[in-house]
Structure 1
Amino acid sequence: MSPVLPPALRGLPVAPVISHPVGQQTTVQPTTACELPQQSATGWLKEDSIASGVLIVLVLTGVQRLIGFVRSLLFCRWLEPDQLGQWDVAWGFLMLAAPLTVLSLPGTFGRYLEHYRAAGQLRVFLCRTAVVCLGLALVASGILLVMPEAFSWLIFGSGAQQQLIGPLAGTLLAVIAYNYLISLLTSLRTMRLVAVLETVNSAGFALAGGLLIYCWQRSAASAIVAYGSASLLCVVAATGWMQAIWQQAPQICPAIPQREFWAKLLPFAGWIMLVNLLTNLFMIADRYLVAQFAPGDSEARLALVGQYHSARVLPLLLASLASMLAAMILPHLSRDWEAGSRQQVSRRMNLGLKLLGLSLTAASAVLLLVAPLLFGLAFAGKYQQGLDILPWTLLSGVWFGAAALAQMYLWCAERAAKACLATALGLAVSVVLNLLLLPRMGLQGVVLAAA
């Protein structure tokens, strides 16, 4: 399996791969035509060093994973399988649609924002990208609202879920705005603020989702509204920091021709969009195929998605930890690579794969021992099919972790095309196997195809 990229719009991990080689990146001196000097940021907007940024992200990422795990437990306990399946499919749609809607433009921030900031043209950069992203987001949400039945069939495999399209349209707007904000703050290297906002988003989603499901509707609509509300809360909370960023940027700067501006951004955005598209399709294809092509009516198919969702709660926890470890090891591999120690990179990679494989396998064995208690008590005994396929989903999680770490070698060697090709081949194999095994073996066929 291909590792999950950070939230769909960002795509920041691929920037070092398809940008200029290390040590050859073009530098741009601030232009003298700008009348106001750039102020140094203070407080939350102060740039963090790599070491402090990594430490902050690691600590709060662990908190986020814990919050997300608890939220998943509550959703599985309080939602019926068909409603859990509706939420799973809706979330997959949001993760796929958000970057595609805005052409993955915020994913270019990590590579090009500093270029325009150094040239004193940050306001131009922010204005043009924000206007385009806002316009595209409004058009996409409008299309959803105008064609609810068509999108209900497209997303859920039935016209009976039209009432969810309205909340999905609003949540799509909020998610796009939130991802734009996070991409901007990440590119400005304000990692403390990014980590805090990510944690607030995760906690807000868990709290709002739990309250709405328990007190309002025990349905997918509550989860969708909660997700959009948490994203919107973070955007509103960051308004003051956004104003500070705007005020610190020079006010009068040389104009950039539109053709020159977009000719620089769009090719890079296209690469990021391709990586995001392949990765997100790989992650959601199996559940989408179940929702569309599994035997039975729409409710039965979505209930199967819910069962599959319950079986992925524990493996996704392992997978997220593996992805975090892979991201941590990349700078060390890059240092050895640039120093010419290619054999050292190979040795570290081989050792890392062995240790990670053993660790994930041991963790999976422990989780299998406690799984009956978890599914019986925390999940209220509603997901027996999920428990039956748990060994296979854990195996998929182990393979995912190994793939996440192994792919760091391709990033280090600047072979992004091979990484994309591997993801595309994996997606094709997964789709073909799902179409062959799903009608014959049900959920077990799905997890076998994924593994």
Structure 2
Amino acid sequence: MSSVAQPQQVAPTIQSRPQQREFRVDSLAVGMLVMLAMTIVGRGIGFFRGVAFCRLMDDTDVGRWSMAFGFVTLITPVMLLGIPGVLPKFTEHFRLKGQLQPFVRRIAIGTVVCTGVFVAAMVCFPDWFGWVIFLQSQSASLIYAVAAAVVGMNVYNFASDLNASLRQVRVVSVMQLIHGVGFTVLSITWLVCGGGFTGLVWLFAAACLVATLPGMWSLTRNWAAATSIAVDPADAETSPEPDGKMSLGSMIRRLAPYAAALWMTNLIGNLFELSDRYMILHYLPLPPEALASGSVDAIRETVGQAAVGQYHSGRIIPMMLLSVGTMIAGVLMPYLSADWEAKRLSAVRLRVGDALMAVSLVFTVGGAFAILIGPWMFDVLLQGRYSDGLKLMPLALCFCTWSTLVIVGQCYLLTAEKGRSVALAMFAGLIANLVLNLILLPRFGLTGAVVATLLAHAVMMIGVWIAMVVFGYPLSTQTVMLSFLPLMLLASPWAAIVFAAAIGWSQWSDPASRGRMVELLPARIRSRLC
């Protein structure tokens, strides 16, 4: 009898294993390659869209679009109180404990509640939000369109973050491509047909919702497999709930410190990102004829928004690079969290170091080529209407590369749950940006504002490096060298290319570094090299 009973007890365990293996994740190598390929296409489309906007709208409307788009993309993580931001860090943690479903459900509820409250405020107080976003009251229909864009962005970001945290990188890349292509086609068609600015914002909201569909399909397809993992008996024994599920209070206590630190980081970072443009609107020196007239305020609005439009044109390529850096960090974070959960701390440091190396080298070389083709782009594609943007582009390329290094570096600190140090470094950069703008902007105009932003990014980057060293990251001479490399863009693009190539060759000459690079290549190419 006992010999028959034993197989019956073992059978459920044997049958459960294939279910656990059904859930598949993209490797970091595959994820990075797919993301890079999609990003090249997507950023090319984004570049085309940015050029088209500059040609189809005057510089004042380009400045308004820059303010509206900046508000939508930067306010969303702040208004959500950092709640969805816990997904990349904690999804794998709760999945391994068999608690993924209640975790995601509670995060989704918090996201919906915060979005509803914020959008209701925008609908009830459109005049106030018009002043906050555009420095002047706008039509209620425009503010309603911005509110719809906030909703669309939140839905898109939630689906993207959840898929990324489950390491479904190919799905996230497809979402980004659909969003970029969809918005480009819709917006340019709208502007060519004579559509207005409010309709452009509505189309952005629609593109966000359409791009969410692949992510929702992937979640529906993989959800059962992702949640079917067996609960570790040790976790079940220590769980505060009889069924092994963490109570809401326990989950809040676990997530709240990280979410609060992330919220502070997003708030300060977004204020930092918008501060230079708002300082330009308020403190840009006016021409003498404006001071002699009686309509100083009206002229300040027009001149300020036009200057922001010039600044926006100079940031088209730099912001493309920065968005790629954000994608890299978004892909990297779930893998760092998985290594952290498995106690592979050395792997975390190696991944961060390799990412910093790649960002500094590739972005510096990309920035150098952008400077070389800049005169043609601004004279031909932008019809010579944005000469100030061309002059400012090297400075913007430099500080956007530094900003990307900060974004990748903060992944280490967020993985170690030391997000408060990131917020502190960003706060130091914000204060430096405000003070330096107050000093340089009235004296040197738009150039002074960009120089102030460059120096403030340096302050923020140094703060992040210090925090990383304090919390166990081995800061080496190589990291310092990579930090200084983007400055070569201000001297000569050719010098930047030569220095980047020399550093890249030194890394390829190191066997350990070369081995990690080869691992990122497709299997066929890797086999030939080996």
Both proteins in one fold, TM over 0.5: yes
- Give 1:319 deviation, angstroms: 4.2
Superposed, 1:363-402 pairs within 5 Å as 364-397=367-400, 399-400=402-403
- Give 1:261 deviation, angstroms: 2.4
Q: How many residues align?
A: 407
Q: Identify the residue that residue 129 of structure 1 maps to in structure 2.
A: 107
Q: Identify the residue that residue 275 of structure 2 maps to in structure 1.
A: 285
Q: Identify the residue that residue 443 of structure 1 maps to in structure 2.
A: 446
One-letter amino acid of the structure 1 residue matched with residue 435 of structure 2: V
The normalised TM-score by structure 1 is 0.77
One-letter amino acid of the structure 1 residue matched with residue 66 of structure 2: D
One-letter amino acid of the structure 1 residue matched with residue 268 of structure 2: L
Q: 1:317 to 1:169 in 2, by over 3 A?
A: closer
CA distance in 1, matches of 2:92, 2:410: 27
Consecutive unaligned residues in structure 1, runs of 5 or more: 1-31
- Candidates 247, 250, 259, aligned match of 1:257: 247
- Candidates 169, 184, 208, aligned match of 1:231: 208
Contact 1:156–1:292 at 8 Å: present in 2 too? no
CA distance in 2, matches of 1:400, 1:245: 34
- Give 1:426 deviation, angstroms: 1.3
Q: 1:370 to 1:298 in 2, by over 3 A?
A: same
1:389 is paired with a residue of what secondary structure? helix
Q: 1:161 to 1:395 in 2, by over 3 A?
A: farther
- Give 1:417 deviation, angstroms: 4.6
- Candidates 265, 272, 278, aligned match of 1:275: 265
- Give 1:138 deviation, angstroms: 1.2
CA distance in 2, matches of 1:392, 1:439: 19
- Give 1:279 deviation, angstroms: 2.4
One-letter amino acid of the structure 1 residue matched with residue 259 of structure 2: A
Per-residue CA distance 1:166-188 (angstroms, 9 max, x = gap): 10001101111111111111111
Q: Identify the residue that residue 53 of structure 1 maps to in structure 2.
A: 31
CA distance in 1, matches of 2:81, 2:18: 30
Consecutive unaligned residues in structure 2, runs of 5 or more: 1-11, 229-241, 287-298, 455-530
Per-residue CA distance 1:251-278 (angstroms, 9 max, x = gap): x966643322222222221122122223
- Give 1:304 deviation, angstroms: 1.3
- Give 1:137 deviation, angstroms: 0.6
Q: Identify the residue that residue 17 of structure 1 maps to in structure 2.
A: none
Per-residue CA distance 1:272-313 (angstroms, 9 max, x = gap): 212222322222221122234435332322121111000111
CA distance in 1, matches of 2:404, 2:419: 19
Q: Which structure has the bigger radius of gyration?
A: 2
Superposed, 1:406-417 pairs within 5 Å as 416-417=419-420
Contact 2:265–2:420 at 8 Å: present in 1 too? no
- Give 1:358 deviation, angstroms: 7.5
CA distance in 1, matches of 2:329, 2:77: 23
Contact 2:258–2:417 at 8 Å: present in 1 too? no
Q: Identify the residue that residue 61 of structure 2 maps to in structure 1.
A: 83
Contact 1:213–1:222 at 8 Å: present in 2 too? no
2:439 is paired with a residue of what secondary structure? helix
- Give 1:139 deviation, angstroms: 1.3
Contact 1:357–1:402 at 8 Å: present in 2 too? yes
One-letter amino acid of the structure 2 residue matched with residue 368 of structure 1: I
Contact 2:76–2:150 at 8 Å: present in 1 too? yes
Q: Identify the residue that residue 16 of structure 1 maps to in structure 2.
A: none
CA RMSD of aligned residues (A): 3.8
CA distance in 2, matches of 1:149, 1:245: 44
Is 1:266 the equivalent of 2:256? yes
One-letter amino acid of the structure 2 residue matched with residue 284 of structure 1: L
One-letter amino acid of the structure 1 residue matched with residue 210 of structure 2: L
CA distance in 2, matches of 1:368, 1:376: 13
- Give 1:198 deviation, angstroms: 1.5
CA distance in 1, matches of 2:17, 2:148: 39
One-letter amino acid of the structure 2 residue matched with residue 291 of structure 1: L
Q: 1:202 to 1:39 in 2, by over 3 A?
A: farther
1:297 is paired with a residue of what secondary structure? helix
Query: Which has the larger displacement, 381-390 or 288-297?
Result: 288-297
Per-residue CA distance 1:385-411 (angstroms, 9 max, x = gap): 222333433443454466567767867
Higher RCO (CA 8 Å, separation ≥ 6 residues): 1
Q: 1:386 to 1:109 in 2, by over 3 A?
A: same
Contact 2:77–2:266 at 8 Å: present in 1 too? yes
Q: Identify the residue that residue 436 of structure 2 maps to in structure 1.
A: 433
Contact 2:75–2:270 at 8 Å: present in 1 too? no
2:315 is paired with a residue of what secondary structure? helix
Per-residue CA distance 1:339-359 (angstroms, 9 max, x = gap): 5999x999x78xx77x97687
2:259 is paired with a residue of what secondary structure? helix
Q: 1:118 to 1:407 in 2, by over 3 A?
A: closer
Q: 1:323 to 1:376 in 2, by over 3 A?
A: same
